[in-house]
Amino acid sequence: MKDRRLWIIFFIIFVNFLGFGIILPLLPYYVESLGAGALAIGLLLSTYSLFQLLSAPILGELSDRFGRRPVLLFSLGGTVISFALMGFANTLFLLFLARIIDGASGGNISTAQAYIADITNKKSRTQGMGMMMAAISLGFILGPAIGGLLSVYGYSVPAFVAAAVALIAMILTYFFLPESFRPVVRTAAQTAAARRKRIFRLKDFYDALTHPNIGLFLTISFMMMLAFSLMQGTFALFTEHTLHFTAETNGLIFAYLGIVGVLVQILLLPKILKKIPENLVIIFSLTSMALSLFIIAFASSMSALIVAVTFLALGNGVSGPVIAGTISKPTPDDEQGNIAGMNQSVGSMARLTGPLIGTFLYSQLGVRSPYLIATGILLLTVLYTARKLKKTHSRSGQFFARANLKTK
């Protein structure tokens, strides 16, 4: 972790998600101030995920063709424009337009993952992914607090501050972040075929999902995020109805979740990776998350909830970097952005559907149902993962066989 570029990308991602964290908790209040209701709030929150789902693989593949810096600058520029537009928004249409622009240009995470893959070896890559996700978590921890303090001056003020913060990240990227991508040497025929290839096709997604190594981890990523989203979309309702918590109390719980996650990713993850193989770390982290959601379902006190959230922070804090790292390792150098973009899209798909499914289960089957079903999803994923990893290990003789994603 002595590479200066890792710390630069850490700070850029932190500043960017600090701006995102400033505005995100205020969106429902912003919508209500424009005279809209709960349906508009739900649609607004889903709009970002939908457009990120569509754009992330395209931006990832563009970074494989033209480099990481141009795409990262484009993504940050879109964030600046969207937050500034949000500050000026006096109609619901402009607010939706702002979220569409931010989602469509939101390739920050996948491009940053590809950048880290470029500058790390396979041994240190997962730790590099952990640093990036710690930066995201720090931004989400500090951002809402800053946004809450600024909201007393009006909802447009946090939006303009978030735009300024994203602009700082863009300036830092332009002046201090060198290009990391080195184009792969190809024959004349391969170069011509690559130029003829469209930027992104659904077949690319199919090829990745059916690949013996990459497809497994994309599936794990989706199932893990789906289970987490079932919890995330109903947690405030659950604690309000069963434990009579206030919004402030829930805010503190999520802050605790974020702080523990950051500590796990920065301090604990490097030590875990030195002693435990990454395939076992994945199974451990999924099991930890399943245990936490099961405890939440029957929690009747703050102390029980803190224990559950600690297990959740441990599992979530470890699984994200390890899955990102394991997806990256078998991926060819000139497809890192493409595959990272697909992974980001898979997460967006889960975040788009998870809260809708969770609230439906909550209202139709009872307050515990989202957590019990999420527990079941994770346990089935553990069994599926253990079986697949065992077969992959015995078939290839090693856990990470290099992928052969053919240029299409």
Phi-psi region of 244 (alpha: psi -120 to 50; beta: other; left: phi over 0): left
User: Mean pLDDT in the chain?
Assistant: 81
Which residues, in sequence order, are CB contacts of 230 under 8 Å at separation 6+? 354, 355, 357, 358, 361, 370, 371, 373, 374, 377
177-228 pLDDT, tens digit per residue, is 888 877 654 444 444 544 545 555 666 666 677 776 778 888 898 999 999 8
pTM of the model: 0.74
Locate the domains of the chain by residue range: 7-178, 202-398
Name the phi and psi angles at 203, rounded to 5.
-60, -30
Which residues, in sequence order, are CB contacts of 289 under 8 Å at separation 6+? 224, 227, 228, 311, 312, 315, 316, 319, 378
pLDDT higher than 80, residue 394: no
Could you give the CA distance from residue 332 to residue 182 in angstroms, rounded to a whole number? 12
pLDDT higher than 60, residue 393: no
Mean pLDDT of 161-173: 89
Q: CA geometry: angle at 170 spanning 154 and 152, to 5°?
A: 10
Are the beta carbons of 154 and 286 closer than 8 angstroms?
no
47-59 pLDDT, tens digit per residue, is 877 888 788 888 8
What's domain 202-398's architecture? Up-down Bundle (1.20)
Residue 107 is predicted with a pLDDT of 66
Any idea which of 224-238, 261-275, 335-349, 381-395 has the lowest mean pLDDT?
A: 381-395
- Tokens representing 5 are 């570029």
Half-sphere exposure in the Cβ direction for 128 (13 Å, CA): 28
Are the beta carbons of 34 and 90 closer than 8 angstroms?
yes
Residue 407 is predicted with a pLDDT of 39
Could you give the CA distance from residue 388 to residue 396 in angstroms, rounded to a whole number? 12
71-112 pLDDT, tens digit per residue, is 999 989 998 999 999 889 888 899 899 989 988 887 678 888
Q: Which of 348, 353, 370, 408 is nearest to 99 (CA)?
A: 348
H helix or E strand, kind and range, residue 377: helix 369-396
- Tokens representing 13 are 């991602």
Whether 202-398 and 7-178 are alike in CATH topology: the answer is yes
Could you give the CA distance from residue 113 to residue 221 in angstroms, rounded to a whole number? 15
- Given the candidates 3.40.50.261, 3.40.640.10, 1.20.1250.20, 3.10.290.10, the CATH classification of the domain at 7-178 is 1.20.1250.20
74-84 pLDDT, tens digit per residue, is 989 998 999 99
Mean pLDDT of 311-321: 89
Are the beta carbons of 116 and 331 closer than 8 angstroms?
no
Counting residues of the chain whose pLDDT is more than 70, the rounded percentage is: 86
Mean pLDDT of 322-328: 85
Are the beta carbons of 403 and 218 closer than 8 angstroms?
no
Any idea which of 133-142, 202-211, 341-350 has the lowest mean pLDDT?
A: 202-211
What percent helix, strand, coil does the chain show, rounded to 5?
85, 0, 15
**DSSP strands (E only) in 166-246:** none
Mean pLDDT of 391-399: 46
Which residues, in sequence order, are CB contacts of 256 under 8 Å at separation 6+? 306, 309, 313
- Tokens representing 328 are 């990256």
Rounded to the nearest angstrom, the gap between the alpha carbon of residue 287 and the centroid of all alpha carbons in its chain is 20
Could you give the CA distance from residue 385 to residue 185 in angstroms, rounded to a whole number? 35
